[in-house]
Amino acid sequence: MDRPIVTHLNASTPFLTDRRAQALCSAIDAAGHVALFVGGCVRNAIMDAPASDIDISTDALPQDVIRICKAAGFRVVPTGIDHGTVTIVVDGAPFEVTTFRRDVATDGRRAVVAFSKDVAEDARRRDFTMNALYADRTGLIIDPLGGLPDARARRVRFIEDAGQRIREDYLRTLRFFRFHAWYANPDEGWDVDALDGIAANLDGLNSLSAERVGAEMLKLLAAPEPTAAVCVMEQTGVLGHILPCATSTLVGPLVHLEGLSGATIDPVNRLAAMGGDDVAARLRLSRKMQRQLDSTLENSTSMLGVHALGHAAGAEAGIGALLLRSAMANRVLEPGDVDAVLQGAGTEFPVKSQDIPGLSGAALGARLKALKQLWLASDLTLTKKALLTA
């Protein structure tokens, strides 16, 4: 197999020093096959960014991978064997090992694949040039399609024809914006061919499940700075297609306020800043996320003080409501506002049922509710004694 080797990875790259990953690759290599690290772990090593997964590609067929790994004493889990993927567990650490593949047919959501012995064929079925990079167990980079310069420059570019890559899997449109948010160098600008391909294939987004769209959007919004990606999504028509009536207008101000206040990045609160119709259903949010989204939006228009906001909405939604309220009003937060929300979220209403003798049922409930409204209006400053004498 021809290996257009370009350069070496740093010897301290995590997967090069991981004895379990090295043992797995060594076993496959020793059996006369090729084992290559691939995708995100290689891309992120080049970018000096952390990577969570270590994936391996090989020219060995799945049944050969199983045989080799069982002989080496590794545990084998045939997780996606029909598509060429076998999970190998080495001393408790799982690694996905996938046979080189080429696409036979695609429908915009799924692909029919055939196994291959050619790493270039395997690379060509991937989405972006920066993801079509491989490395052997010594750190030698294999770059079949010339993606290394793009990875080094943090330039997000589709492999070959952008429109064709998108029509193979329409989720790649959303992945393009997610990768821009996480990895792109802003000085590189946006690839015009990619944007043209995206704009020409908007209808294909209709074929995607809400779960897949939601997962991509939440990953995008978890990036440190997603503002530019969301803005270009809106300009190309993608945002309106997946979330009608959503807008990028408040995303930048909210993200800026997060940074100024030290608030933790929360993709659900950023989603609230975008607005849109029927967001929870269109993105198939979990019930917890839906409750947070609804609470953030509802409380962002309230007049509650910061402590009361935390108590009424909870920590996550309270901070989201605080940030969104400030973004809508175009004002900065006061020092300590975020801490005040967190403090309010942990503060209990001081009055209990037993503190109000002589009342029960609906009358007791109404009295407690009225006292709590007074307490919230005071930004949690009224004491139990003051409330009971109110």
Domain ranges of the chain: 1-153, 350-388
pLDDT at 113: 83
pLDDT value at residue 41: 95
Q: What is the pLDDT along the chain (390 residues), one digit of tens a residue?
A: 444 444 889 889 999 999 999 999 999 999 999 999 998 999 999 999 888 889 999 999 999 999 999 999 999 998 888 889 999 999 999 999 999 998 876 665 667 789 999 999 999 999 999 999 999 999 999 999 999 999 999 999 999 999 999 999 999 999 999 999 999 999 999 999 999 999 999 999 999 999 999 999 999 999 999 999 999 999 999 999 999 999 999 999 999 999 999 999 999 999 999 999 999 999 999 999 999 999 999 999 999 999 999 999 999 999 999 999 999 999 999 999 999 999 999 999 999 999 999 899 999 999 999 999 999 999 999 999 999 988
pLDDT at 108: 59
Report the pLDDT value the prediction gives residue 109, as an integer from 0 to 100. Answer: 65
- CATH T-level fold of 1-153: Beta Polymerase; domain 2 (3.30.460)
91-97's contacts with Cβ under 8 Å and 24+ in sequence apart are: 91/20, 93/18, 93/20, 93/21, 95/20, 95/21, 95/24, 95/54, 95/55, 95/56, 96/53, 96/55, 96/56, 97/24, 97/28, 97/35, 97/56, 97/57, 97/58, 97/65, 97/69
pTM of the model: 0.90
What pLDDT is recorded for position 4? 45
Euclidean distance between CA atoms 33 and 16, whole angstroms? 19
